[in-house]
Amino acid sequence: MKNNRIKIRIAIIAIALLIVGAAKAQLHVPPIFGTDSLSARLDEMTRLYVPPKKIMWVSNDSLVRNTKVLLLPGTGQTEMGKRNMCSLHTTESDTASILLDYGRELHGGLKLVLGSSKPWKPSSVRIRFGESVSEACSQHDGGKRRKGYSTNDHAMRDMVLQIPSDGQIEIGNTGFRFVRIDLLSSDFTIHLKEAPAILRYRNIPYLGSFRCNDERLNEIWMTGAYTVHLNMQEYLWDGIKRDRLIWLGDMHPEVATIMSVFGYNEVVNKSIDLACEQFPLPQWLNGISTYSMWYLIIHHEWYMHNGDISFLQRHRNYITGVIDRIDECVDENGNETLAKQRFLDWPSSHNKAGVEAGCRALLCWAMEDAGKLCEQLGEKEYVEKCGNISKRLKKQIKQPNNLKQAAALMSIAGLMKPEKACSEVISVGGAKNFSTFYGYYMLQALAQAGEYQQAVDIIRQYWGGMLDLGATTFWEDFNLDWTHNAGRLDDFVPEGKDDIHGDFGDYCYPSFRHSFCHGWASGPTPWMTQHILGVEILDAGCKTLRITPHLGDLEWAEGTFPTPLGVVYIKHVKELNGKITSTINAPDGITIK
């Protein structure tokens, strides 16, 4: 019976995908466009209108009335008059303001559906989007990046504009959860019928899933999945408010999440293609040498999941070009001169010796994966070249200098025993000095050392710590030390408390410039699929999978894993004697070991 249910579910998903594909194929453009339609670009995104979940605050109950109507589902249609509408009235001395909470982080904008105004003419309003209550109520810094002030970097989130009477208007394109509206026109009344958020997202099914008896882990898995989903716009971004760009290195955890949740998606291919166009050889991708290393690693893992040899062949010249570029920068004694700037992630930047060790380890990892790519491409000369680069690099193995990022990369690259990397560096202090980006590789090193339970405990503490502060997506950066006296992001900061958004942040993300939806922070999602469900890809295209569960203190875990051949269902149950019983249902063509 269970097998039948799984088959039915897979069939329903397949039919849904066919319907979506057919709908795209049958797109009709008005004939008046003629050949102009050939140069037009179809919007790949879907839009949903989401009403607010809560009225967070109003400036004055006598100036802002009947707010509950804004929480109701609307029609999107303007009505003349003021029946069943929220009214805002600004006087010469008092400004009418309202703060709306949409319940979760969203990407998109705001739609205002308006009734009649008094006087009957356009009025001036200020709209502020915020990923936290504090950001939605903050002042703009004028481009100075000052603590306690917000920015309009990468996306306009604080603006003044005119709105119509008896009409509607759509505003903004950014990442947010809260919206504050201030009526700036004095001696003026507007009637607001609806104020839904416009959720703009890629309309794709969640083929992968994860559930266990710990709801905290379930929420963390889904939060990571949703964080990346929001960043899957026309291209794969870092953040939906700030860093709306393609950063190849930062993409690696995102691509790992996409493979675990959505399976193949064109946004990955498109983003890699565009990045290579933007940074032609001999440039380093994004101007950062380590990001060209990540390019090679991403290619290998993406190929192993999808088995798309045509995409790999299309990048043959760029892949071999990167290898040549690296080869000329590593001498016979293992000295390398790739670039003066060494970058792993921002929190590691102060530890120069550790970053040096980490960069060399990342390069060794990239050369190993590049060699495997060249085997698939039939480039025997480059297979040998990758091996020689690695041999030269290993003549000089640097020490991690107590940097968890470096120790994690050295473990993964085989330059340091995982047990030593964890006991001497990564496990010290538990989640202390973890980072949202490189935390994924620290978790991987813990798994290599067999420290699955410690990894799960750190996921609960570190990524769960963001949830405890009201997060619905994972952040660009997070430090557990911030939590000691911090208020939640989804409320006003109490007297004597720290503002988790406005008071922290460093490097390029001070204060409210800090992104609260950053795809590189999604590492626990693929990690739980890989290590708790135990999914390991052995052959390109997922034709052979090894399933090795590690439940730790969990009683059971189940989920699905998307492959090019269909969805694999997995369930593990721990018996009273500690033995794990597994149920695995895989589509035809997949071998399970």
Could you report the per-residue pLDDT of 135-186, keeping only the tens digit for each? 999 998 777 777 778 999 999 999 999 999 999 999 999 999 999 999 999 9
One DSSP character per residue, 543-568 reads: SEEEE----TT-SEEEEEEEETTEEE
Q: Please give the pLDDT value at position 319.
A: 98
367-380: string of b/e by CB count within 10 Å (b at 16+)? bbbbbbbbebbebe
Q: Please give the pLDDT value at position 271.
A: 98
Q: Which of 2-16, 272-286, 313-327, 343-357 has the lowest mean pLDDT?
A: 2-16
Average pLDDT over residues 264-281: 98
Q: Does domain 47-201 have CATH number 3.40.50.150?
A: no
Q: Please give the pLDDT value at position 26.
A: 67
Contact by Cβ (8 Å): 109, 170: yes
- How far, in Å, CA of 333 to CA of 368, rounded? 19
540-573 pLDDT per residue, tens: 999 999 999 999 999 999 999 999 999 999 999 9
Task: Say yes or no to pLDDT of 13 above 50.
Answer: no
Average pLDDT over residues 52-74: 97
Contact by Cβ (8 Å): 534, 122: no
Q: Which two tokens stand for residue 5?
A: 């249910």
Which of 91, 100, 95, 93 is closest to 67 using CA atoms? 100
This prediction's pTM: 0.94
Most confident of 14-28, 147-161, 269-283: 269-283
387-425 pLDDT per residue, tens: 999 999 999 999 999 999 999 999 999 999 999 999 999
Average pLDDT over residues 88-94: 96
Helix (H, G, I), strand (E, B) or coil at 104: strand
Q: Which two tokens stand for residue 234?
A: 């026309």
CATH T-level assignment (fold) for domain 209-476+515-537? Glycosyltransferase (1.50.10)
* Average pLDDT taken over every residue of the chain: 94
Task: Say yes or no to pLDDT of 10 above 80.
Answer: no
Q: Please give the pLDDT value at position 226.
A: 98
On the 0-12 / 13-18 / 19+ scale of CB atoms within 10 A, 263 is: buried
Give the pLDDT band of residue 40 (cuts 50, 70, 90).
confident
466-508 pLDDT per residue, tens: 999 999 999 999 999 999 999 999 999 999 999 999 999 999 9
Every domain range in the chain assigned CATH 1.50.10.10: 209-476+515-537
427-458 pLDDT per residue, tens: 999 999 999 999 999 999 999 999 999 999 99
Task: Say yes or no to pLDDT of 6 above 80.
Answer: no
Percentage of the residues of the chain whose pLDDT score is greater than 70: 95
Give the pLDDT band of residue 37 (cuts 50, 70, 90).
low
Task: Say yes or no to pLDDT of 11 above 80.
Answer: no
Half-sphere exposure at residue 376, Cβ-oriented, CA atoms within 13 angstroms = 23
Q: Please give the pLDDT value at position 89.
A: 97
Average pLDDT over residues 220-225: 98
Q: Regarding predicted confidence, which is higher, 585 or 34?
A: 585
Q: Please give the pLDDT value at position 34.
A: 79
Q: Are strands 486-487 and 498-499 parallel, antiparallel or unpaired?
A: parallel
Q: Which of 118-127, 139-148, 198-207, 253-262 has the lowest mean pLDDT?
A: 139-148
227-271 pLDDT per residue, tens: 999 999 999 999 999 999 999 999 999 999 999 999 999 999 999
Give the pLDDT band of residue 279 (cuts 50, 70, 90).
very high
Contact by Cβ (8 Å): 126, 203: no
Give the pLDDT band of residue 20 (cuts 50, 70, 90).
very low
Every domain range in the chain assigned CATH 2.60.120.260: 47-201
- How far, in Å, CA of 257 to CA of 525, rounded? 6
Helix extents (H) in 343-483? 352-377, 380-393, 404-412, 418-421, 439-448, 452-458, 464-468
CB atoms within 10 A of CB 24: 10
Give the pLDDT band of residue 27 (cuts 50, 70, 90).
confident
Task: Say yes or no to pLDDT of 326 above 60.
Answer: yes
- How far, in Å, CA of 547 to CA of 3, rounded? 18
Helix (H, G, I), strand (E, B) or coil at 267: helix
Helix extents (H) in 307-340? 309-314, 316-327
